Structure 1
Amino acid sequence: MTDESGRGGEAEPLKDGEAEGGVTKEKSCAGKLGLSHLTGWRTAAFLLSIFLCLAVIFAFSFILPCPVRPQYVSTWNRTVPDAATFDFLAVEDANEDKVLDVFFIYRDADASRNTCLNADLSVPCLVLTAVDGTNGKSLWKRALSAEFDWVECGVKGLGHKGSGCLVAHADNLTAVDKKTGQIMWQHSRSTLMHGNLPLISVPDLNSDGKEDFAVLSYNPDALSFTPTPTELVFFSGKSGDQLGSRVNVDVNGVFAHLHFKTASGASYLLLLTDSGLYAVSLGRLAALAKPGFESALKKEKSWEELSDIHTGFISLYQSGFLKRVLAVQGSNPPSLLIQTDSSVSLLQTDKLKTAWTTNTSTLLSEPTFGQFDKDGIPDIMIEEDAGNQTKRVMVLSGHSGVVLWEVSLLFWPPSPRPASVLTLNTYSVFMLWGQTNQTSQMQSSFLLHPRYSKLLLERRKSSQNIVSFKATLLERGRHASYLVLTGPDGRRHTDDSEPVILTKRKIKKDVEESEVYGVTADELISQDAEDSVREAFHRLRFSEIQ
């Protein structure tokens, strides 16, 4: 009996527990009641969270305004009657709408009379202006005293705002805020005899929290009989005050210069002279201006090993026929393109050796960089004079210097230099100018797609005096456009009786209004080929990295 009773307890433990006074049963009911209250609180919390989420979504969707991306006009014109302009176009975001705006400068006697007089300036005066990149409407105008020398926008460190435009005019050096057009500071140019572009940006030398800059003075006119010393002057970007003393750059025959950074970030001043190309460390020059300034500037060890122990100059390229030196855009490591009377060469700055040399005739314009083939190395478009008002436009391989593409076009000087815009497909679209018909008074722009290199898209325009031309992206990854500034050239004409016109056109807009032109004159162009090249341009997506 005892054994059977024990086995029954093991077989039904819950039932056995309930038999002992019913305690287990009562605890079970209480547990169920607590669970019921907990489940209710959870349900309420869940419903409340849903309500809060819906309230937030409603607020952001209907109450708080969503940011609206500016809607740009594909083509716009900005006209200034009775004026003259200069070869200057810059793009910066002045109104902070994430679309780049356009800066240009003109001399205007009549239309800007009130602008000049309101600034207590005599007529005519210079007018630096910013227009909205989306629609061409004026953002601001800044009247400045006449006698234009040069202007550069996007200069970092200017004033308290951080960047702006620096204008050399009359006897003044003036910093203008790119957002408002207000003058941030203005100083006499007594410290500069000539002050040539490009500006040389340098780190914060005087520890005021803003970047500084330097200006190199020399007389680039080889026919001038007035001896002019080559001097470097450092300035505070924040206040415009001179930093340290003027530095005499002891080299003769300087006619151009370039600020160059090596792969390690070391800053050098490149000097183009009658005898060749020389470099000198900016750190060395900064130390001569004021001891201690050099601490903010790096030096390249491999370059310094080749420098003259007394002068610090480094001979990079010896030639008595040097014409132009350009930093190759997008090259890694940085390279230099060197142009002489009869050749272009690529100088590798990490090895200080010439990678290749290609013979040319006289070049008509500054070379343009872009991606033509698929090797990822920037290629070079050049225009050489072929005689009889004909130019030969070529694309040279950045790797070897061989000719990858060429076409012959008629031209009437002055003709704008080519330009390029990089696409997301790692190749660039090139834009060039010329004529295909000798009897026509129309000037044409041409679009070149590297994957359809036997064809060009030609858009004919009325003949106008193009003073400046620029192709660029006005918005990150999109809004690929070109800018054309026409009118009397202020450096050549004193008569301001014609209008100055700034035009912006979307590049793809030209595709619809262009004719297909064969690079080879005897090549037959089928309708399928026309349709294919137009479709290829329409499918393009652009990159902001050049």
Structure 2
Amino acid sequence: MTMDNKDLEAEIHPLKNEDGKSQENLGNQLKTEDNLKSARLQSRLSRCRAVAFFLSLFICLFVVFVVSFIIPCPDRPVSQRMWRVDYNAAVTYDFLAVEDINRDRIRDVLFLYKNTNGINNFNRSCADEGLSSPCAFVAAVSGANGSTLWETPVAPDVALVKCAVSQPRGSEGSSACILVGRPDPVTAVDLSTGQTLWTRPGSPGTNASILSPLLQVPDVDGDGAPDLLVLAREAEEVSGYIYSGGTGHQIGHRGSLGTDGESGFLLHVTRTGVHYILLPCASSLCGCSVQGLYEKVTRRDGPFKRDPLGQNMLNATTCRTLMHSAGAVRYLVHVPGKAGADVLLVGTEACVLLDGQELTPRWTLSTARVLRKPIFGHYKPDALAMVIENGTGVDRQILLLDLGTRAVLWSHVLPSLPGSPPSSSLPTADHRSAFFFWGLHELDSANQTNQTNQTETSAAGHSLYMFHPTLPRVLLELANISANIVSSDVVLLEPSRHAACVLLTGPARSDVPGLVSVIKHKVRDLVPSSRVVHLGEAGPDSDQAVRDRFSRLRYWSGV
């Protein structure tokens, strides 16, 4: 009987077999110990991870608790739905501006009025500034509740005003309102406190007709603040005066532009950074180099860029005719955009869109009797549109044009009273705009006839209508105002929050004092009581459903 090889080898080498088993057992034992050590290490790591997780969670909860319950949140000011401030025996000016003056995140309202003494117990009088009575005051009221923040007498009369002008670093105020008096002083008022920063004589004299607007030019005296350019017509010739924006001192002397002109100047910056003054002169558009004017008044070079492409056309000491217009030039408007944006020329017979660099026509739209300066907004998402008010009285027509193609997007006949306030627009969260138009109170189709009784409509006053492109066949009549509106605007007083209609009303004549009022209405609060005006057949939505859609509009400030 034969034996297996393994058994035979075991009988011949018994010790070798035992050694093999011992080594095998030893290997298994070492492997087991390694597994145990690895398990213990994994256990310790798991406990460390758990401790770290719960510690982090505890720290996060502690921070949330501290921020939420221990550290008090800053109080957000309560913005009243409506407020009104009255000034008796006063007159006012066509000027409104909004700036956050008291840093409460709600923009405040700046305006001008003329009276003998300040209002609301500020104990300021014309005599305090060495002025004869009555004199012009600049005032700021809170956008939240209408309380007076400050008011300051500035001049016997005011010809031009520009607010939020930066001041040099280290000066008493960081931003100011600059006022050009009639006939003499140029004054800077601290935007935050109302304190007079400086007053300088030297504005154009009594024989000069000061032209609007007040233009800001780059800093030429090196004080870190933009400087100011005042244009005036003297003996049928336009002259320029440059003042330091930081000190008010006149820079150089009077400089003639070599042409006649009316108000409506535009400081234009090309895409290459060159500064030009564009101005209407008779039935033409004229242009003058800011560099050339500076060299004329100071007799030295200035810190301005030169444009080799346009040097022969504009970089001269006198203005040149750039193009002839069909009819007189009424307005020059920058199309919204960056520096070097296009320019819209509005004439009595046509509107022309000019390329911002070459100042050559992009397109021409034949119109008639453009009532006032156009405004811009968005009819389609992110596509810029322009609002033109064409005609006057019962024949006035509102046109919304695509700025790129000049196609008419929307139009409607909206009768108005003489001197009706300008239109406004506000961007909405859907990348369109809400538009606000002033017109007559009665806008039903039965009343849109040429036999409108002017006496009756004058008694009715101005009505504010709201339009949004998502409801093209509907207007919403928000309010009816019987007082004389000197200036108005629809603005966002709080970024990306509620829209407000701000009105400045007062006497129609500047020589007859009366009641001057500054009024704020929250647009959303006007919607529930508004009147829905259907521009054709009524749609499927009820009037209340239309109001609800307007109430749900969200406005966007871009910040």
Distance apart, 1:531 and its partner CA: 3.7
Kindly provide the CA deviation profile for residues 169-206 of structure 1, in whole angstroms up to 9, marking residues without a partner as x. Answer: 24211101111101111101356655533222233323
Distance 1:128 1:516, change over 3 A: same
TM-score after normalising by structure 1: 0.84
Aligned 8 A contact 2:286 2:319 in 1: no
Q: Quick one: distance in 2 between partners of 1:320 and 1:34?
A: 92
Question: How many angstroms apart in 1 are the aligned matches of 2:105 and 2:379?
Answer: 29
1:70: how far off?
Answer: 2.7
In structure 2, the partner of 1:203 is 218
Contact 1:160–1:238 (CA under 8 A) maintained in structure 2: no
Q: Which of 506, 511, 518 is matched with 1:494 structurally? A: 511
Once the two structures are superposed, residues 366-418 of structure 1 have per-residue CA deviations (whole angstroms, 9 ceiling, x without a partner) of 222222245713323323126xx542222233223343322223322111111
Are the equivalent residues in 1 in contact too, given 2:326–2:348 (CA < 8 A)?
no
Q: Gapped runs of 5+ residues in structure 1?
A: 19-24, 220-225
Q: Secondary structure at the match of 1:451?
A: coil
Q: Which of 13, 17, 38 does residue 4 from structure 1 map onto?
A: 17
Indicate yes or no: 2:231 matched with 1:214: no
1:143 is aligned to 2:178: no
Tell me the amino acid that sits aligned with residue 505 of structure 1: H
Q: Distance in 1 between matches of 2:40 and 2:528?
A: 77
Name the counterpart of 1:480: 499
Question: What are the superposed Cα offsets for residues 472-525 of structure 1, whole Å, 9 maximum, x if unpaired?
Answer: 111222221121111114xx33221x2111111122222212111123xxx343
With over 3 angstroms needed to count, the CA separation of the structure-2 counterparts of 1:109 and 1:28, relative to structure 1, is: same
Matched residue of 1:168: which SS? strand
Residue type matched to 1:447 in 2? M
Counterpart Cα distance in 2 of 1:370 and 1:42: 57
Structure 1 residues 97 and 255: alpha-carbon distance in aligned structure 2, compared to 1, 3 A threshold: closer
Taking the aligned partners of 2:406 and 2:134, their CA distance within structure 1 comes to: 48
Q: Which residue of 2 aligns with 1:341?
A: 348
What SS class does the counterpart of residue 194 from structure 2 fall into? coil
- Residues 99-126 of structure 1 show CA distances to partners (whole Å, capped at 9, x for unaligned) of 2110011012366475445555443222
* Superposition map of 1:46-445 within 5 A: 53-109=60-116, 112=119, 115-119=125-129, 121-157=131-167, 159-170=171-182, 171-190=184-203, 193-208=208-223, 210-219=224-233, 227=235, 229-290=237-298, 294-295=302-303, 297-304=304-311, 306-307=313-314, 311=318, 313=320, 315-318=322-325, 321-330=328-337, 334-374=341-381, 376-385=383-392, 389-437=394-442, 438=457, 441-445=460-464
Cα offset, 1:304, TM superposition? 3.2
- SS of 2:548's equivalent in the other structure is helix
1:372–1:427 CA contact under 8 A, matched in 2: yes
CA distance in 1, matches of 2:225, 2:300: 16
In the alignment, structure 2 segments of 5+ residues that lack a partner are 1-13, 443-456
Pair 1:499–1:283, CA change in 2 (3 A): same
> Counterparts of 1:374 and 1:42 in 2: how far apart (Å)?
51
Task: Provide the C-alpha distance between the structure 2 equivalents of 1:50 and 1:201, rounded to a whole number of angstroms.
Answer: 55
Task: Determine helix, strand or coil for the equivalent of 2:541.
Answer: helix
Q: Deviations over 1:242-297 (max 9, x none)?
A: 234443322234544111122343322112112411222323333444477533x3
CA distance in structure 2 between the aligned counterparts of 1:439 and 1:298, rounded to whole angstroms: 53
The percentage of counterpart residues that share the same residue type is 29
Partners of 1:331 and 1:430 in 2: CA distance = 23
1:449 pairs, out of 468, 471, 475, with 468
Q: Deviations over 1:311-367 (max 9, x none)?
A: 474614455622221112248972222122222222222453323222323222222
The secondary structure found in structure 1 opposite 2:87 is strand
Between 230-239 and 50-59, the greater mean CA deviation after superposition: 50-59
Helix, strand or coil at the partner of 1:259:
strand
**Partner of 2:9 in structure 1?**
none
- Give the stretch that moved more between structures: 120-129 or 138-147: 120-129
Matched, 1:13 2:3: no
Larger radius of gyration: 2
Check conservation: 1:103, 1:130, Cα contact below 8 A. Answer: yes
What is the alpha-carbon distance in structure 2 between the residues aligned to residue 477 and residue 375 of structure 1? 17
The answer as to whether partners of 1:369 and 1:381 remain within 8 angstroms in 2 is: no
Map 1:534-545 → 2, pairs under 5 A: 534-545=547-558
Which segment drifts farther, 90-99 or 2-11?
A: 2-11
Instruction: Give me the whole-angstrom Cα distance separating, in 2, the residues matched to 1:35 and 1:451.
Output: 63
Structure 1 residues 37, 264: closer, same or farther in 2, change over 3 A?
A: same
Give 1:453's aligned amino acid: P
- Secondary structure class of the residue paired with 1:283: helix
Distance 2:516 2:360 in 1: 46
Partner of 2:520: 504
Ranked by relative contact order (alpha carbons within 8 Å, sequence separation 6 or more), the top structure is 1
Distance 1:90 1:151 in 2: 10
1:461 to 480, 486, 496: 480
Quick one: distance in 1 between partners of 2:438 and 2:62?
58
Q: In 2 relative to 1, CA 525–36 (structure 1 residues): closer, same or farther, beyond 3 Å?
A: closer
532 and 383 in structure 1: CA distance in 2 versus 1, 3 angstrom threshold: farther
Alignment deviations for residues 14-39 of structure 1 (CA, whole Å, 9 cap, x no partner): 67779xxxxxx999999999999999
**Which residue of structure 2 aligns with residue 222 of structure 1?**
none
Which amino acid letter does the alignment assign opposite residue 216 of structure 2? S
